[in-house]
Structure 1
């Protein structure tokens, strides 16, 4: 570096989900200096609304509707978008390696999201569909059409059997949409809706274990009313092309399926599963400032860590509200350090919003910020309002307009 020339400070953000994109949008608002640059590395040139994926999977929302182009959101003189896949992080060298190149950094924000743990169950990687990404949700939507065409052409007498593995947040929301939308889809393919069979497999004693028992029982009753075959305290041992091996009370059996959808069992992103980021018990070695213990310049946020937050509402699993708050916290922390502050900021999640799980378009269960329980159509309406609040919290009115007004033009 030449004398009198100040080196450019480089902030690298990995992932443009709720956490990563919030961090970038907030950083570009707060940073005014010209000797700082931000690089956002993401697999796609768009952000997608993860909370809408269960609706994309059944065709209510199109892929284009759920997608928001990143370029118009970014300040070009400050932020550079790279459409690349992250392969490795080398903390000691302060480098990120992608499929296209190597990036050095002064601050690194890792917000890559979670991945399906395909080693958990034999056959999971070959025979299971999921909705963990927009691309996977879109593939599942197309798969429904193929399965129905195959079923119609086979003229078989057995039911068209769709099985969902996992009765948590994602599984219940997806089932709610399947209950409402599949009969319509079957009618379009001239298949008797009475031939449809939906099965839910959950290893816990109720669905939605992340909520309280009363709300879980409400959701369970709604699914049972819709004739969903619910197998609780049941584990999946193996998945094959046409059958699933399950165990309940020590008894192992195989059940047939035409389509299996996995909504549970995600794990830390593969690039974080190294000793540089893990404690001796294999948990994420993070400080209360959301930084890696041995590398305070590295922040890890979003679903990448898959850790619960302890609140007055109980343990809260990773969700959009937490991801956004962490994105904002990281932006504020980096801003403070760029200004020369040595005061450590401590992250504390505040459940301002509501935790709502939909059960179709007009039913839901949830906990409000004041611990009040809501169910039914009221909860469903609050869920729709929450969708707008989440987007506004990420990037303000401009981002909200990009998501909702832009999406309406893509219908």
Structure 2
């Protein structure tokens, strides 16, 4: 019997497992899915969870309800070590040998990038962190109400990329509502965005970034461009702009910028002496054709791949490719073609519930309500791509019934 071990149940890992359990017929193959939780969560919804717009239950999908227990064994464990030379994965509870390994652990916050980041910053990189941020936001508002202070309530967001702008877009709409619940005037709150580039959303183009910038400035968001974050402390953020150092006050600091490869991959034996993990064009590690690395963890070595940012679309495409490549190997057939990302869909960033910016598949730019509508449709398309109608019903129907 062949044994496939999959690490991580994010977009890439879960897509791989769902596709394998659907396409494996009578092959003598077992799959072990190792994940920190017994659920998958919709990463693209975390900015909404962080402000209380979406509940935790809505964004979370119970893995036990969607996995084929005759084919897949789910283990709620934390991976500690990968030893590819002896085909072994070691977790906090057990050790697993494998014939094929799929590493889909996503990315982590690079806490060494800025002093104080680990101790004083919140983030939305996971569902648990998004929930903690929401609870902290409520606590900060309640404390502000009790203090009767004259100075404004300061919320500072570090990073004006995709995640930062989507979070700011929700904050500008939801924060006034939360403040009113605690009988605090929305005029008493100030949101500041810090971005080291010369515009926001640098991963799009200048025109779309400028549109998003103007929309946020119209909502009185204080945006500091070409500004670097140097240090974070409990109540201040030290920044540099044009060689001048300044300390900005904050009651809540949220980091949405740099992430890095998971520590487990940084310490694995199969990266080069620079610490960079570069994959072959079939998403396997050079020298270890039985180890796939998909999701946000690494980039391929091929020069013909389009330079694209980590997102749900590319993670799902890697998951599908990985499953099909595994099926070819299991059936002793010629492997599939090299992985190439295909930009079928649109790249859309929301700037609140009724506003957004984006590039369509035909490179046409869209903004405003049209972009926001396409973003809502894309939420459904992503889920359909992962696991078809059955998975879509779990996400959009059964979870809402539980609500």
TM-score where L is the length of structure 2? 0.97
* Count of residue pairs brought into register by the alignment: 403
* Secondary structure at 1:65 match in 2: helix
Change (3 A) 1:274 1:84: same
The answer to whether the 8 Å contact 1:163/1:198 transfers is yes
TM-superposed deviation, 1:283: 2.4
The answer as to 2:34 corresponding to 1:41 is yes
TM-superposed deviation, 1:275: 5.9
Hey, what does 2:83 align to over in structure 1? 90
TM-superposed deviation, 1:54: 0.3
* Secondary structure at 1:210 match in 2: coil
Change (3 A) 1:243 1:308: farther
The answer as to 2:383 corresponding to 1:397 is no
> Unpaired segments of 5 or more residues in structure 2?
none
**Higher alpha-carbon deviation: 273-282 or 337-346:** 273-282
The equivalences for 1:249-260 within 5 A come to 249-260=242-253
> Of 316, 321, 326, which aligns to 2:313?
321
For 2:362 and 2:50, locate their aligned partners in 1 and report how far apart those are by CA, in whole Å: 32
The answer as to 2:352 corresponding to 1:360 is yes
The answer as to 2:4 corresponding to 1:30 is no
Hey, what does 2:288 align to over in structure 1? 295
> Unpaired segments of 5 or more residues in structure 1?
1-7
The equivalences for 1:173-184 within 5 A come to 173-184=166-177
Change (3 A) 1:221 1:257: same
The answer as to 2:344 corresponding to 1:335 is no
The equivalences for 1:222-301 within 5 A come to 222-274=215-267, 276-301=269-294
For 1:207 and 1:85, locate their aligned partners in 2 and report how far apart those are by CA, in whole Å: 36
What CA deviation, in whole Å up to 9, does each residue of 1:161-206 have, x standing for no partner?
0000000000000000000000000000000110110000001111
For 1:307 and 1:128, locate their aligned partners in 2 and report how far apart those are by CA, in whole Å: 31
The answer to whether the 8 Å contact 2:87/2:99 transfers is yes
Hey, what does 2:372 align to over in structure 1? 380
TM-superposed deviation, 1:144: 0.8
For 2:147 and 2:398, locate their aligned partners in 1 and report how far apart those are by CA, in whole Å: 42
RMSD, matched Cα: 1.6
Hey, what does 1:121 align to over in structure 2? 114
TM-score where L is the length of structure 1? 0.95
Change (3 A) 1:183 1:308: farther
